[in-house]
Amino acid sequence: MRKMGAAGAAIGSVTIAGCSGEQTTTTDGGGGSGGGDGSDARVVEEDLPEERMMDDVIHLAYTEQYNPGRYQANRLVDQRLTDEMGIPTVTDPVEATVVSSREQAGEYDMVTYRWTANNGEPDSIIVTRFASDGSENWTGFSSEEYDEIAYEQRQETDREARQELVRQAQDIIGEQRPENQFLFNEYYYAFRSDRFEEDSVVVTDTGLRNIWNYTQIEPKNEEGNTIVTNNWDPSDQLNPLNANAIGPSRNWVPTRFMHDMLIRTGPELEAQPWAATEWEWEDDTTVTFQLREGMTFHDGEPVTASDVVWTYQMMLDKEPPAYLNNVVQVVDSVEQDGDYTVTFTLEEPYVPFIKTTAGIVPILPEHYWTQLMEETGTTEQPWRISITDDRPVVGSGPFQWGTWDQGSRFEMPSFDDHFMAPNIDMRVQRPLSTTDAEYEALLNGDYDLLDFWFGDTEQLAGAVEENDFLSSVETLGTGRQSAWVNCQRPPFDHVPMRQAFNAVVNDSQQTIINEAFDGFGQEAHTFINPSLSFWHNEDTTFFDGGIEGATTILADAGYVWDSDGNIHYPEGMTGK
Amino acid sequence: MVNKRYIARRLALMVLSIFVVITILFFLFRQVPGGPMSAFTNPRMSQAARQAIIEQYGLNDPLWRQYLRYMVNVVQLDFGQSFYYGSSVSSLIFDRFVNTMSLMLTAFVISYTVGTYLGAQLGWLRGTTKERAGMVVVLFVRSMPVFWTGMVVLYVFSFQLGLFPIGGMRGTGASYTTMAEKFLSTDFLYHVALPVFTLCTYYTGLPLLLMRNNLLEVLSESYIDTARAKGLTSRRVLFVHAARNAILPVVTAFAIAIGFAVGGQVLIETVYSWPGLGREMVQASLRSDYPVAQAAFALLSVIVITMNFVADIAYTYLDPRVSLGES
Amino acid sequence: MAVAGLLIILFYLVLAVISPYIIPYGPYERIYMLDGSWASLQPPSLAHPLGTTDSGYDVLSQLLLGSRIAMFVGILGAFMVAVIGTTVGIVAGYYGGWIDEVVMRLVDILYGLPFIPFVIVLATVFGASVWNIIFGVALLYWLSTARVIRSEVLTVRERPYVEAAEAAGASDFRIMTVHILPNVIPLSALYAAIAVGYSIVAQASVAFLGFGDPSVPSWGVMLQRAFVTQSFGQAWWWTIPPGLSITLVVMGAYLVGRGYEEVVNPQLQEK
């Protein structure tokens, strides 16, 4: 285990070192895991009607193989709910793609993963995740009071006033608890320092897999010219119009690397010129971009204002679900003036426009996409076109489509005609099926760097320390690992249940950080990471008091327990 | 000719079996909670979009019509689109099929060569302490669950000795353009070594025991004594006379065993992350990618059924004692 | 050898019965170090003779409890195989004709369903549980038994006393149960013994692939967790005991079956 700095707090510093001769003890000594069979706050009644008994609570989870730490954390929380709260909770581990589809279909009670918008823009969470009509509001959370603040903050041009609104939004979510943070992870990334100039490596909130790093990293030798990394195969979708191509990182990496956007979020989360060299707000709802001249798509055709206009206009017409909140709801019209000037008119002021719209929407080649849509006969829902080697992505980004051996390997050669042409020749996403295999591959030189690491962080850190040819970087990122609950069905359609759940999670945070994540993380109580210090609300409401506190919340709301310790709904509620 | 009639009959049974298996699968997968498309449609989808999908897959048609359409497609080797990969199931499955066969056949050839030889040796040594000890070892190895053997082999050769890769079929740097390049490279051999070794421990038992038992039977027959009486050396008797006769049932067992081996294949592919049919089926099931799971299972079944067929036919040709008319 | 086999089986049977009373810890009871951290992957020690798992659970306790599932599945599976295989075999063999034809073609067709993939389909469709495995065993493992019993019945029914009973007007049911069954019982017992092993391996394999019920500590689930957490690369104490137990039980069952075979079929006895 590893000692944490400032935020890690005191309890985080227990060590396992030199434990060979140590005798072990059982449950009672449990690190932060409260007491035995529930608290005194319980209200116990006899002869409770069957229909008030709580059904199994389904915790939709990633598999242990996918992310052992996350699975451990889930098991810990679920066991505590079951054993100490009498809430029958079942961990239901499924494959990654099933998690998203079941989450989107509302077939779960809680679901746990890590999520971040990667652009430092709170709007991408506040509206997208929790507004009633947020495009990724899978919890079904709905509150008029909240919606009002959520939409007000995106129009508030005064930075301080907007900060206040963003903090209020966090507090409402904190009080209502559709989301319950496990921790803010600290991420550890390793790379082969014998192959790259160390000071050319750029670390951002997403670690090493960011366009700045991949365009600037300087190989020292032939081996560094092709970067082979462990990012997942982009298996499910590479169609840039599909939500899956811009959501999960296995897919957004290729999407963002092969396309250009008007601007890009820089390493410090600031807006940086990209396809647009400059932009100017004419008033609160009109913004004009100047395009860079001389850019071409990978097939040699020039990138012009008409491609930009076509892309946005097509989104306004076809309404791809992935771009609902940041394009369809926001943009009123888009017009070109000559080949290199584009002007957007917004429906109403939308402050985060530069980052969340101009920084996310890929510029698509009109000539190629109209042809694709025609050939496949998919003119109404172009996000359904499946992208393969026969129908590859054609963009204008620093990397281009190479070959995709589905399920095992995706190659992107660099695009030499790009204004930010990479120093390397190619990037290869080549996942191995186990973390041990990936660890070995980094040590024996098959991998040049690890795009992410879900394995044992201590083990990796140990290897970096032992071997001169490895270096590492750490980052807190901008995300958080949380359990979202389904607010549209029992038991979590009832706010006290969510608050009680939050109390149990908070009580488990230290154990989660220390045991499941080897000490690499910080306690978390809100959805905005402290690395976004301007927006982060450190006074967000959360619930504590552990099992005792959780039980009190539930007892106050009328929940009762039978003599076997099973929780029952308050009178008048059945959970059906 | 009777011969032809038997083959025709057997062929008809094979086709019927495949047909029944695919039918069972079709109806089983309709029982999936939420329906076979549940993973593919979501409630936030607009009504029109959902309707489009339902129509595209004909989910509103009566079951028998869906079934007919499915069968017609299957006959044309069209298993639909993978929910997960978004590409055609057939091409995907074919690729996995080749990977599975490359591993399985390698292991089989080695197992049957080694197994037959060791079986003959053991049979020859009958009654000795060596034979008893050998039998205990054989029984023990044969009783080991193959996935566990795989884990132990990995523990020793990969984790402790670091001699072989932990899984997969190719190194990270390897990329190939042709099939031949893919399966004849040293990189492939390096990756295939441990899974083949593990499968061999699993497969060798059957030919070994069969060979031994057959040999015991053959050795008790009179012409062997005649051969001995002629003064032939014992080794020559073993290999020229006895073994040649004892090997026949082992040859036919080869084909039948391929059928049974499919289950072991699923496990070994999982342990070694081998991108074959079995692993694809396991993963497709876990991902709710039903078209792929369904097709992978169908193909595994076809392997089994075809092999049973080949075994029966081979048997009739190889063993003159089997009369072809009756069955 | 058969005695050794019997001893192994008896040993695990006894374990299965008494394990709930002798396990030192709950199967999913977290073990802590003195400083309050989890006792993850501790090598064997006095307090934990088989060490601990990744999540800090006691391996020995899980192993002991695992014998219950193994024995349950093994015996139930063997019973199913014997009952179904024998019934089908006797009926087909005794009646012959179209009944025989239909049944035997059904057997041929079912041979085309590979067992483990089939159970995966069952688990996908009906959810993971021990019952899918039992169901799979019941559906697919009786095939060889039925074939063998049927050919045995074909010879038995030609025997004079069966023909005598027929002539005396005994009902088909009576002839099958009273005159034929006793002759084939040794054979079905042999197949049942072997099916014990098959069923246990089947259960472990399916659990290993992730289609078992993870809340029930079985040997297959133990191995699965050692595998998916990648701990088997270091924690031999977690991997070896369940695998070895499966091997021993399977071998024991086989030895018992083989010993039995030698008793009833002296031809096979080694000189």
Q: Which CATH number characterizes residue B216's domain?
A: 1.10.3720.10
pLDDT tens digits, C64-109: 999 999 999 999 999 988 999 999 999 999 998 899 989 988 888 8
Interface test with C, best of B24, B125, B128, B143 (most C CBs within 10 A): B143
Q: Which conformational region is residue C251 in: left (phi greater than 0), alpha (psi within -120 to 50 degrees), or beta?
A: alpha
Report if residue B8 sits inside a domain.
no
Neighbour subunits, C (≥3 Cβ pairs < 8 A): A, B
Model confidence pLDDT, tens digit, residues A19-38:
333 444 444 433 444 444 56
List CB contacts (< 8 A) between A237 and chain B: 86
Q: Given a cut of 50, is residue C27 above it in pLDDT?
A: yes
Shortest alpha-carbon distance between residue B3 and chain A (Å)? 46
Question: Out of C37, C42, C54, whose CB is closest to A514?
Answer: C37
- Share above pLDDT 90 across residues of chain B, in percent, rounded to a whole number: 15
pLDDT score, position B322? 47
A434–B92: do the CB atoms touch at under 8 Å?
no
Give the model's pLDDT for residue A494: 95
The SS3 of residue B252 is helix
Inside any domain, residue B126? yes
Contact criterion met (CB < 8 Å) for A27 and C29: yes
Q: What is the pLDDT of residue A13?
A: 30
> Is the residue at B208 inside a domain?
yes
Number of domain units in chain B: 1
Query: What does the pLDDT average to over C121-150?
Result: 84
Picking from C228, C223, A435, A443, the residue whose alpha carbon sits closest to that of residue B166 is A435
Cα Rg of chain C, angstroms: 22
- Report chain C residues whose CB lies below 8 A from the CB of A514: 37
Residue B199 · residue B147 · CB < 8 Å: no
Q: Pull the structure tokens for residue A54.
A: 């709580």
Q: Across chain A, which distance is largest between two alpha carbons, in Å? A: 79
> Domain ranges in chain C?
2-9+76-265
- Chain B contact for A176 (CB, 8 A cutoff): no
Residue of B nearest to A443 (CA): B162
Grouping H, G, I as helix, E, B as strand and the rest as coil, residue A287 is strand
- Nearest by CB to residue A434, choosing from B49, B166, B275, is B166
- Report residues of chain B scoring pLDDT below 50: 1, 39, 42-44, 322-327
Nearest-CA residue of chain B relative to A234?
A: B85
Q: Among candidates C236, C216, C61, which has minimal Cα distance to A26?
A: C61
Amino acid type, C170: A
Please tell me the predicted confidence (pLDDT) of residue C251: 92
- Per-residue CA distances from C135 to A62, C76, C138, C202 (Å): 28, 10, 5, 11
**Residue range of the domain that includes B192:** 89-326
Residues of B in contact with C223 (CB under 8 A): 147-148, 151
Q: Which two tokens stand for residue B142?
A: 């044969």
**Rounded Cα gap, residues B125 and B130, in angstroms:** 7
Number of other CB atoms surrounding residue B212 within 10 Å: 26
Q: Are the C-beta atoms of residues B259 and B303 closer than 8 Å to each other? A: yes
Token couple for B290: 């039903």
Cα–Cα distance between B93 and B106 in angstroms, integer?
Answer: 20
Q: Is C32 in contact with A26 (Cβ distance < 8 A)? A: yes
Domains A190-242+245-255+386-474 and A261-369 share a fold: no
Which of A228, A235, A409 lies at the smallest CB-CB distance from B84? A235
Residue A399: which of A275, A215, A218 has the closest Cα?
Answer: A215
Query: What are the residue ranges in chain A where pLDDT is below 50?
Result: 1-36
Domain C2-9+76-265 top-level CATH class: mainly alpha
Residue B43: inside a domain, yes or no? Answer: no
Subunits with at least 3 CB pairs below 8 A relative to chain B?
A, C
A409 shares contact with chain B (CB less than 8 Å): yes
Q: How many CB pairs (< 8 A) connect A and B?
A: 87
Domain A2-20+29-185+478-567 has CATH 3.40.190.10: yes
A74 within 8 A of A59, measured Cβ to Cβ: yes
- Chain C CB contacts of B309 under 8 Å are none
Domain range annotation of chain A: 2-20+29-185+478-567, 190-242+245-255+386-474, 261-369
Name which of A406, A410, A444, A489 to mutate to probe chain B: the one with the most chain B Cβ atoms within 10 A of its Cβ: A406
Cβ distance A455 to C225 less than 8 Å, yes or no, reads no
At C248 the pLDDT is: 95
Residues of chain C found within 8 Å of residue B273, distances taken between Cβ atoms: none
B139, B271, B288: residue with CB nearest C251:
B139
CATH number belonging to domain A190-242+245-255+386-474? 3.40.190.10
Query: Can you name the CATH fold of A261-369?
Result: Dipeptide-binding Protein; domain 1 (3.90.76)
